[in-house]
Amino acid sequence: MHAIMLKAKLHRAEVTHSVLDYEGSCAIDGEWLDLAGIHEYEQIQIYNVDNGERFTTYAIRAEDGSKMISVNGAAAHKAQKGDRVIICAYAHYSEAELASHKPRMLYMAPGNVLSHTSNAIPVQVA
């Protein structure tokens, strides 16, 4: 049995560029890609906190240390500069892998400053 699970997440990153006339993709600071374990050209889901849009694209590498999140091509209609987004990558895991699986999550503070990392989401209380 296999399960599709959250592999990595960048939580509440701020879109720094929205470029309609660029080959479709999402450029992400290379240091964040490495830290999250997201590969260049890997499929990602983007959830726009500000307008509710949810869409699929792929990651490309932006300059290391740039703090860049650039939503490009047709997806630029779904996220504008300044929007806060959640970027997720998912992967298939075997039953054996599930026992030790921990996602890599990066949490952003305003200005795309990396606040902290985690490998678990706190239990939501009533």
The Cα–Cα gap between 72 and 22 comes to: 6
Q: Is 117 annotated as a binding residue?
A: no
Q: Out of 22, 58, 90, 107, which one is annotated catalytic?
A: 58
Q: Is 75 annotated as a binding residue?
A: yes
> What's the token pair of residue 98?
């599930």
Q: Is 74 annotated as a binding residue?
A: yes
Q: Are residues 88 and 38 in contact, defined by beta-carbon separation less than 8 angstroms?
A: no
Q: Are residues 72 and 25 in contact, defined by beta-carbon separation less than 8 angstroms?
A: yes
DSSP letter for 121, please.
Answer: P
Q: Is 73 annotated as a binding residue?
A: yes
Q: Is 58 a catalytic residue?
A: yes
Q: Is 47 a catalytic residue?
A: no
Annotated binding site: 57, 73-75
Catalytic positions: 25, 58
Annotated binding site for substrate: 57, 73-75
